[in-house]
Homo-oligomer: A and B are copies of this chain.
């Protein structure tokens, strides 16, 4: 945590979706450091002890509340909002669900499933689930600015101005640049995750409320087309010490290849570790990484899923 926050945006100051008509929760000068209290993506719906039955009563229109918006003085369309990630203070409880109709293999996993996590709030120890030990790296799943287009826009899809990016390296020390489309940027953040693999394949991570400290600054006239970021150091050393089990999908369609690689990993984990298929799927979502190994050897591309061996070894 670099600097003490000058403002706190509290967890009751949230909104659903993006709308540039929303009143700012706070108005700050460029360079200001703020604390954001972020709700989990279920808005507190899931409680310790809950089972899969609780998935059925989740109101999808009230998922992914984001804390904000914050108006940054001087921010104008064409600028970039520079977001520097300070420290995270995770709640120590979280959930991962298979939500029917949602996720990369929604057709193969039609039934709800839920795992409630309890983890070290310092995020120093891995989170346990049966014999699995998932290393943690808290980050913000949803982080973005308001869109120029009027009206309310769903929070689910990520956009050029950011939003539900679910990039697991938007973590402590990273510097993120987001395109600004409206005066003041109208920045909001939420959907904090204690851990996630690249892809978030089942659709949920270790969803967990937490506080995050961010510094908001401006790069005037950046004319950025989509988000970019800089990490200060390695991004996967919490996962890589024992190497990876890797499955592949080979063929002419990247989406089909990704699905094939994940299916193959579920088959491998169920065969070698006795996990149920849906548990293997949810475990991949919180720790395994989808990579595009090759995208030029036409007509077939290779997508690989890297499952960190440290989790089950």
Note all chain B residues with C-beta closer than 8 A to A235.
Answer: 240, 243-244, 306
Query: Known contacts A159-B300, A167-B293, A295-B200; is A248 also within 8 Å of B227 by CB?
Result: yes
B300 near A158: Cβ-Cβ < 8 Å: yes
B199 near A158: Cβ-Cβ < 8 Å: no
Q: Which one of A25-33, A51-59, A83-91, A254-262 contacts B? A: A254-262
A230 near B246: Cβ-Cβ < 8 Å: yes
A246 near B229: Cβ-Cβ < 8 Å: yes
A250 near B294: Cβ-Cβ < 8 Å: no
Chain A residues 34 to 61 lying within 8 A of chain B, measured CB to CB, are none
A199 near B294: Cβ-Cβ < 8 Å: yes
CA separation between A102 and B234, bound complex, in Å? 32
**Nearest B residue to A231, CB-CB:** B243
Note all chain B residues with C-beta closer than 8 A to A254.
Answer: 254-255, 258, 292
B230 near A244: Cβ-Cβ < 8 Å: yes
Residue A157 interfacial (CB < 8 Å) = yes
Note all chain B residues with C-beta closer than 8 A to A245.
Answer: 228, 230
Residue A160 interfacial (CB < 8 Å) = yes
CA separation between A254 and B249, bound complex, in Å? 14
Q: Of B199, B236, B298, which is within 8 A of A157 by CB? A: B298
CA separation between A165 and B102, bound complex, in Å? 30
Note all chain B residues with C-beta closer than 8 A to A166.
Answer: 293-294, 296-297, 302
B231 near A295: Cβ-Cβ < 8 Å: no
Shortest distance between the CB of A215 and any CB in chain B (Å):
18
Contact-size category for A: 35 or more
Shortest distance between the CB of A287 and any CB in chain B (Å):
14
CA separation between A23 and B203, bound complex, in Å? 49
A243 near B233: Cβ-Cβ < 8 Å: yes
Shortest distance between the CB of A41 and any CB in chain B (Å):
11
CA separation between A228 and B169, bound complex, in Å? 26
Shortest distance between the CB of A251 and any CB in chain B (Å):
9
CA separation between A227 and B249, bound complex, in Å? 8
Q: Of B246, B247, B294, B299, which is within 8 A of A231 by CB? A: B246
Residue A206 interfacial (CB < 8 Å) = no
Note all chain B residues with C-beta closer than 8 A to A237.
Answer: 234, 237, 240
Query: Known contacts A254-B254, A264-B225; is A246 also within 8 Å of B169 by CB?
Result: yes
Shortest distance between the CB of A220 and any CB in chain B (Å):
15
CA separation between A107 and B247, bound complex, in Å? 31
28 contacts between A and B (CB under 8 A): A165-B293, A166-B294, A166-B296, A167-B246, A167-B304, A169-B246, A199-B294, A199-B296, A200-B294, A200-B296, A228-B245, A228-B246, A228-B264, A229-B246, A230-B245, A230-B309, A231-B244, A233-B240, A234-B236, A235-B240, A235-B243, A236-B240, A237-B240, A254-B258, A254-B292, A258-B292, A290-B292, A290-B295
Q: Across the A-B interface, give the 9 residue pairs with the lowest CB-CB distance, nearest first.
A: A166-B294, A231-B243, A157-B300, A234-B240, A290-B292, A254-B254, A167-B293, A203-B296, A233-B243
